[in-house]
Amino acid sequence: MTFQTGPRWGMPLASIAGTASVLALAMIFFYVPPDRLQGIVQKIFYLHVPAAWIAYLAFFVVLVGSIGYLWQRNLAWDRVARASAEIGVLFTTLVLVLGSLWAKPIWNTWWTWDARLTSTLVLWFIYVGYLMLRAYTPDQERSARFGAVLGIVGFADVPIIHYSVEWWRTLHPEAVVVRAQPQLPAEMGITLAVATLTVTLVYATFMLYRVHLEHLEDENRDLEASAEPPPAPAHA
């Protein structure tokens, strides 16, 4: 019997993501110039925006995995949803932390109950709740079903976050990237594109390993269940 220590494409993908990370950091610190108005603190932009993109992507994958599970009742879909939810919470935490670090010197406050910030915090709570629900529901089928419903409903907050700067008056600046004519100089656009590709590769690497681990955990759970002794016969 052979034991697979990791996903098949795990190491090559991790190597590519690692190389891209070095390149992205080098571009952020040495290639793109500081912003004329915000100075060097603006460089957080090249980590903050890609982290937000990955948070959106991760919770969209949770949505797809949840729909797939409810449709086919296949645990493979549930593994994808569980794994992506964990990574999405990680990147949403990064979004909140990096946003606060950026806000302090620019807005003179670590936090304000701005529509964009508040809706992002709500998203974080929704998927932390998702992870807690999955962790504290012992029955696997029920955990997957409840998690799928929450994963689908929770995604409704993502478009609210995205359009919050258009729907309400906020301190958060309007989008300068996702628009018909992006308002970014060439150096900033190139650096942001490299950084976004890099964090996408990091997300893909995390997903590959986390889904693999979820598969092993499910297999181990099935082995434990099959190894349990049958209940003793009742005596008359």
Q: What is the DSSP string of 140-152?
A: HHHHHHHHHHHHH
% pLDDT > 90, the chain:
56
Q: What is the mean pLDDT of residues 50-79?
A: 95
Q: Is residue 222 part of a domain?
A: no
**pLDDT score recorded for residue 214:** 84
Task: Kindly report, residue by residue over 122-166, the tens digit of the pLDDT.
Answer: 999 999 999 999 999 888 889 999 999 999 999 999 999 988 877
Q: What is the mean pLDDT of residues 76-91?
A: 95
**CA dist., res. 41 & res. 234, Å (int):** 72
For 29-54, letters b (16+ CB in 10 Å) and e give eeebeeeeeeeeebbbbbbbbbbbbb
**pLDDT score recorded for residue 182:** 58
CB 174 within 8 Å of CB 114: no
Q: Is residue 220 part of a domain?
A: no
**pLDDT score recorded for residue 42:** 86
**Three-state helix/strand/coil letters over 166-217:** HHCCCCCCCCCCCCCCCCCCHHHHHHHHHHHHHHHHHHHHHHHHHHHHHHHH
* Confidence bin at 2 (pLDDT 50/70/90): very low
Q: Is residue 77 part of a domain?
A: yes
Q: Is residue 9 predicted with pLDDT exceeding 90?
A: no
Q: Is residue 230 part of a domain?
A: no
Q: What is the mean pLDDT of residues 14-36?
A: 92
Q: Is residue 226 part of a domain?
A: no
pTM of the full predicted structure? 0.85
Look at 232 and 184; give whichever has higher pLDDT. Answer: 184
Beta bridge partners of residue 35, listed in sequence order: 39
CATH number of the domain that residue 154 is part of: 1.20.120
**pLDDT score recorded for residue 104:** 86
Q: What angle do CA 129, 131, 135 make, to 5 degrees?
A: 115
Residue 49's nearest CA partner among 189, 167, 216, 204 is: 189
Q: Is residue 193 part of a domain?
A: yes
% pLDDT > 70, the chain:
83
**pLDDT score recorded for residue 107:** 81
**pLDDT score recorded for residue 236:** 45
Q: Is residue 169 predicted with pLDDT exceeding 80?
A: no
Q: Is residue 194 predicted with pLDDT exceeding 90?
A: yes
- How many folded domains does the chain comprise? 1
Out of 45-49, 91-95, 164-168, 228-232, least confident range: 228-232
Q: What is the mean pLDDT of residues 86-93?
A: 96
**CA dist., res. 99 & res. 114, Å (int):** 12
**CA dist., res. 234 & res. 236, Å (int):** 7
Q: Domain of 142?
A: 10-214
Q: What is the mean pLDDT of residues 34-51?
A: 88
Q: Is residue 16 predicted with pLDDT exceeding 80?
A: yes
CA separation, residue 107 to residues 91, 97, 101 (Å):
23, 15, 10
**pLDDT score recorded for residue 8:** 76
Q: Is residue 1 part of a domain?
A: no
**pLDDT score recorded for residue 111:** 83
Mean pLDDT of the chain: 86
Look at 214 and 178; give whichever has higher pLDDT. Answer: 214
Q: Is residue 69 part of a domain?
A: yes
